[in-house]
Amino acid sequence: MRHIRIFDTTLRDGEQSPGVALSLQQKLEIAHALARLNVDIIEAGFPVNGASEFECVHKIAREVQGPVICGLARTHKLDIERAAAALEPAEKRRIHVFTSASRVHLEYMLKKTPEQVLELTDAMVRYARTFTDDVEFSAQDVMRADFDFVLRLYETAIAAGATTINIPDTTGYGTPLEYGALIKRIHGEVVRGRDVHISAHCHDDLGMATANSLAAVENGATQIECTVNGIGERAGNTALEEVVMAIYTRRDHYQAETRINTREIYRISRMVERYTGMVVQPNKAIVGDNAFAHESGIHQDGVIKNKETYEIMNAEMVGREAAVLVLGKHSGRAAVKKALQDLGYELGESQMQAVFQRFREIVDRKGPISTEELRALVESETAPTAHLFSIEQLQFFSGYGMLPTATVRLKTPEGEVTTTAIGDGPVDAVYKALAEAIEIQPDLELYRVEAVTGTTEALGEVTVKLKLGEALATGHGISPDIIEASARAYLDAANKLVAGQAAKHPPSLDEVQIKGIVR
C-alpha cells in the first residue's frame, strides 16, 4: 500500500487560531507527543517571526527525535536563513518555502507580477537547497488561481530542487470533486512520474477540509498537512485524527496507510485541548466525548450483542477506554497507579504522589471518580507549572441579599499571606483576594467552567486565561467545588505569569501582518 505521510502543523498553523498563545514548554510537550504519535513531519514554527518563535523551533529541533522537523519561510533570504539556523540541531530537517498563486494575493498582498513571483520562487528554492536537501514549496490560494500559472510555478519549484510540492486550499474554497481534480492534474501534468511528493493542505471554512484531503489521496497526493483537533485560523485545518482514522478504517478504498500510532490520538487531543483552551465539541469525530457513546436503547442493545452493529472502529484503537473505570475512596495507591498505566500514563514518583494525594482529597469529598475524571486529574496535576503560590485555605460567602466575600490563605515565597475581598459574585471575590495576595493585577481574558462528566457529582474543570502586559497564560483547576476549581485555575495561570512561563501575546503590527499572510 502507498504510505501517506502525515505533516503536522499544530504548532505553526494551529497556533494561529484566534486567542491561542502556547508557551515554549507547552509547544515542546506537544512536539514530544507528536513524536510518540509517530507523525512523519512536525512543522515547528515560523522562525523569522521573533526570538521566541526561533527559540521554540531550535529547541524542538534539538530535543525531539524521530520526525522530520520543519520550519516555515517566505521567499525571502532572511526567512530561509533564520529557518536554517533554527533547524540546525535537527537530525532530519526541512525548510518549507511559500509564496502565493492567486491574482488577488499577487496584486494585494505580494504586490508582484507573476514573472517576479516565478523568479523569486526559483531563486529562493535554490537558496533553501543550499541548507538542506529536503525543501517543500507551497503557493497559497491555488484553488482560486489560474492553472497555467500554477503549472509554471510548481514546474519552477521542482526544477529548482523542491522535493515536496504543497497545494494549499488556503481559504477552504474548494469542493472534494474540484480539489481532487486539481491534484490529479498536478500529478499528471506537473509531477509526471518524478520523485516529488504532492501534499494536501486544506482549510475548513466550508466544512470540507477532511473530505478534500482524502480526495487528494484518491488522486495522487502522498502527504496530508493537518492539525490535532483540526485547530487553525478561522474555521481551522484538516483534523489529523479524522484523516488518519478514515485512511485506516477504509484502507480497502484508499489502498493507502499511515504510520501513525493511533493509540496516542486521544491523549494528544486532550493535551492540545487543555493547552490551547479550545474545547473539542462533544460530537467531534474520533475524539469528541460522544464519539463512542451509545444512549439509544436500540443502539445499546445492538452494541451489547456485538460492537460491530454500530461501531466501525473501537475506542481502544484511538487510546480511549471503552469500559467505565471507577475508582473510589477505598482504592489504594497501587490500584490508582495500575489504572493510570492502563490509560497510558507512566508517572515518576513525585508526580504519582501529587496525583494520589489529590485523588484521595477528591474521592473523600465526592465519592468514586470515572475514567474521564481520572484523566483530567492526572493532566491537571502533572502539567509543568512553577508552584510559587499554593492554596492553604479558601472561604467564601454568597447568596441572595448577601455581599459576596472571600478569604484566601496562600503559601508564597515570602511565607503565608491571608487576604479578604468582596466582589460581584463568589468567583469575582476570590479572584480579587488572590490578586491582592500575589500582588499582581492580571486581566482575565477567558473564564470557562465544565463538568468533566455529565452528573451532578462530577468534578468541575475550570480554564482561565490571564494577561499581564504582553504575556498570556492559561491555567486549569480541578475540584468537586467550582469555586475551588476556579481559584486553582487562576493560581495555575498566575504561577506561569510570575515564573515567566507564559507565552508572549503578539504585540506588533509587523508580527500580526506576518502571521496574517501565512496559510
- The proportion of the chain whose per-residue pLDDT surpasses 70, expressed as a percent, equals 86
- The proportion of the chain whose per-residue pLDDT surpasses 90, expressed as a percent, equals 60
Q: What is the DSSP string of 454-479?
A: SSTTPPEEEEEEEEETTEEEEEEEEE
**Would you say residue 330 has pLDDT above 70?**
no
Sign of the Cα torsion 44, 45, 48, 54 reads negative
pLDDT of residue 519: 34
CA 239 – CA 318 distance, rounded (Å): 14
- Under 8 Å between Cβ of 179 and 215: yes
Q: Is there a binding annotation on residue 294?
A: no
Q: According to DSSP H, which parts of 367-517 are helical?
A: 371-381, 426-438, 482-499, 509-517
Q: Is there a binding annotation on residue 201?
A: yes
Higher pLDDT among residues 454 and 396, named by residue: 396
pLDDT of residue 471: 82
pLDDT of residue 229: 97
pLDDT of residue 10: 97
Name the DSSP class of 195: S
Burial, 306: exposed, middle or buried (Cβ in 10 Å; 0-12, 13-18, 19+)?
A: exposed
CA distances from 74 to 49, 106, 158 (A): 11, 14, 17
* pLDDT range class, residue 299, cuts 50, 70, 90: very low
What mean pLDDT do residues 198-218 have?
A: 98
**Would you say residue 42 has pLDDT above 90?**
yes
Strand partners, 68: 41
**Would you say residue 430 has pLDDT above 90?**
yes
String of b and e for 375-387 (b: at least 16 CB within 10 Å)?
Answer: bbbbbbbbbebee
Per-residue pLDDT tens digits for 436-481: 999 889 999 999 988 776 666 677 889 899 988 888 888 888 888 8
* pLDDT range class, residue 174, cuts 50, 70, 90: very high
Q: Is there a binding annotation on residue 229?
A: no
Mean of all residue pLDDT scores within the chain: 87
* pLDDT range class, residue 358, cuts 50, 70, 90: confident
CA 21 – CA 34 distance, rounded (Å): 18
Higher pLDDT among residues 384 and 274, named by residue: 274
CA distances from 262 to 154, 241, 271, 283 (A): 33, 8, 15, 19
pLDDT of residue 297: 39
**295 φ, ψ (degrees, to nearest 5):** -110, -35
Three-class secondary structure of residue 105 per DSSP: helix
CA 119 – CA 156 distance, rounded (Å): 9
Q: What is the DSSP string of 246-272?
A: HHHHTHHHH-EE----GGGHHHHHHHH
User: Max CA-CA distance within the chain?
Assistant: 77
Tell me the three cell numbers of residue 250. Answer: 477504509
Give the predicted TM-score (pTM) of the model.
Answer: 0.72
Per-residue pLDDT tens digits for 52-102: 999 999 999 999 999 999 999 999 999 999 999 999 999 999 999 999 998
Q: Is there a binding annotation on residue 203?
A: yes
Tell me the three cell numbers of residue 81. Answer: 536563513
Q: Which of 19-28, 261-270, 331-340, 415-424 has the lowest mean pLDDT?
A: 331-340
CA distances from 440 to 390, 446, 505 (A): 15, 17, 18
